[in-house]
Amino acid sequence: MTAATPSAAVDVLFARRLPKIELHAHLTGSISRSCLHDIWADRKTRDPQLELEDPFVAMPPGKVDYDINTFFPLFSSYIYRLCNTIDSIVYSTKAVLQDFQRDGVVYLELRTTPRRVTEQGISKDDYIKTVVAQLREHNRDKSNSLQAFLIISVDRRNTVAEAEEAVDLAIKYQPDGVVGIDLCGDPAQGDVRIYTATFARAKAAGLKITLHFAETENSASDEELHTLLSWQPDRLGHVVHVNDEIRKAIERQDIGVELCLSCNVLAKMITGSYSDHHFSVWRHSTVPVALCTDDVGVFCSPLSHEYYLVAKHFGLDRHQLKALSEGAIRSIFTGAEQQSRLSKIFSDWIDDTIRA
């Protein structure tokens, strides 16, 4: 191999081998259909009267055309009803961690919304405690290549009291690996201004902030976006409907962006297809860019595939793809220890298909 040889085109196997950082993944949206099916089969055996459909029927394999109208009800009317016991929360969390790890993800900030299951006597605290315990157990096992941390989500439908409860839980479990707070949920709902003091309290407690930002046109009014930016977020998810003024403000504040290509294309959140995605804008900006899956259980495109898609549609070679993946280190929420662990992983990673 000579120094002048360009690196070979990216293929799926390279994208899988590449160490990757996932910063925007919703726990319940990341559960694979086969994992949901296992949970369903177990419940059906114990309770043959169970009325919930088999996940392979409710979410047929290959169906990924969920849009903003069909996506959110999928959780409230189906997945939450299926995963409603401590056992299923444990089982699915472990499976999600393994799925990311098998895909070559070495660092994960998973996010989830505190959930109460009244009929099972599960409180929001029980739910978060259970998820945190799975992440800690996973991180303690030295044979695991992935390290995982938690972000707690506030749903746009939450009352201020519910949002305050989410922040209380984030602060309570901060010593156990909760690193930040998120604002998510149906972008057609809610008035974000009501959470201003809640997010200020989270920030004052040392939690990092990430926000779903300008996902749809009706969550992209100047007023909403200026309110969200005034919270001084550390990262923003999606950033679809942003004008030049907002884009410059994001660059001035050096806020990392979390870009979810397949989700945006499949849910028709952008006009056109992959090559029309606003990755083309952000890749040339000064802010850190992280490719993310959002909901791999729904859109079925693992993080390696997102990297592959970017290489394919934007012409990135192996060096550029590695640099993109490594660049996400800048915006992780955990700090110096994980940053140096990740920098070492990338500097030690020698793929003999990358030619110097």
Torsion sign (Cα): 118, 211, 109, 42: positive
Q: Which residues contact 170 (CB under 8 A, 6 or more apart)?
A: 152, 178, 180, 181, 202, 205, 207
Letters for 214-253 (x = contact with ligand IMP by CB under 6 A, - = none) are -x--------------------------------------
Indicate if 215 belongs to the active site.
Answer: yes
Closest to ligand IMP by CB, 28 vs 331, is 28
Helix (H, G, I), strand (E, B) or coil at 256: strand
Residue 146, classified by CB atoms within 10 Å of its CB into exposed (0-12), middle (13-18) or buried (19+), is buried
Alpha helix (H) residue ranges in 283-335: 296-299, 303-314, 318-327
Per partner kind, with CB cut-offs from 5 to 8 A, the member of ligand IMP, Zn ion, none near residue 109 is none
Q: Confirm if 294 and 4 have CB atoms less than 8 A apart.
A: no
> Among 27, 287, 303, 332, which residue sits at the site for ligand IMP (rule: CB under 6 A)?
27
| The binder of ligand IMP chosen from 103, 168, 295, 326 (CB under 6 A) | 295
Q: Does 184 bind ligand IMP (CB under 6 A)?
A: yes
Residue count at the site for ligand IMP (CB under 6 A)? 16
Token pair recorded at residue 92: 């699915």
Q: Assess 294 for contact with ligand IMP (CB under 6 A).
A: yes
In whole angstroms, the minimum distance from the beta carbon of 269 to ligand IMP comes to: 8
* Paired residues of 238 in beta bridges: 213
The answer to the question of residue 29 lying near ligand IMP (CB under 6 A) is yes
One of 20, 26, 43, 203 touching ligand IMP (CB under 6 A) = 26
Contact between 99 and Zn ion (CB under 5 A)?
no
132 vs 175: CA distance, rounded Å: 10
158 contacts ligand IMP (rule: CB under 6 A): no
Out of 22, 109, 165, 215, which one is annotated catalytic?
A: 215
Return the range that interacts with Zn ion (CB under 5 A); candidates 37-45, 172-180, 291-299, 340-348: 291-299
Q: How many Å apart are CA 59 and CA 272, to the nearest integer? A: 25
Strand 20-26 relative to strand 235-238, pairing: unpaired
Distances in Å between the Cα of 78 and the Cα atoms of 26, 56, 59 are 16, 12, 10
CB closer to ligand IMP, 177 vs 185: 185
- Indicate whether 258 belongs to the interface with Zn ion (CB under 5 A): no
Q: Which stretch binds ligand IMP (CB under 6 A): 23-31, 50-58, 94-102, 241-249?
A: 23-31
Q: Contacts with ligand IMP in 111-140 (CB under 6 A)?
A: 112-113
Q: How many residues bind Zn ion (CB under 5 A)?
A: 1
The residues, ordered by sequence, that sit 6+ positions from 68 with a Cβ below 8 Å of its Cβ are 186, 187, 188, 216, 267, 268, 269
- Contact call for residue 108 and ligand IMP (CB under 6 A): no
219 makes contact, choosing from Zn ion, ligand IMP, none, with CB < 5 to 8 Å by partner type, with none
Nearer to ligand IMP, 155 or 168 (CB): 155
Among 99, 109, 234, 294, binds Zn ion (CB under 5 A): 294
184 close to 26: Cβ distance less than 8 angstroms: yes
Residues 306-345 that bind ligand IMP (CB under 6 A): none
182: closest CA among 174, 170, 193?
170
CB 67 to ligand IMP: min, Å: 11
Strands ordered across the beta sheet of 235-238: 20-26, 105-112, 147-155, 178-184, 208-213, 235-238, 256-259, 289-291
Whether the CB-CB separation of 238 and 269 falls below 8 Å is answered with: yes
In the region spanning residues 198 to 217, those forming contacts with ligand IMP, defined by CB under 6 A, are 212, 215
Indicate the residue among 15 and 151 with the shorter CB distance to ligand IMP.
151
The C-alpha atoms of residue 211 and residue 336 are separated, in whole angstroms, by 23
Residues annotated as part of the active site: 215
**List of residues contacting Zn ion (CB under 5 A):** 294
**List of residues contacting ligand IMP (CB under 6 A):** 26-29, 75, 112-113, 153, 155, 184-185, 212, 215, 263, 294-295
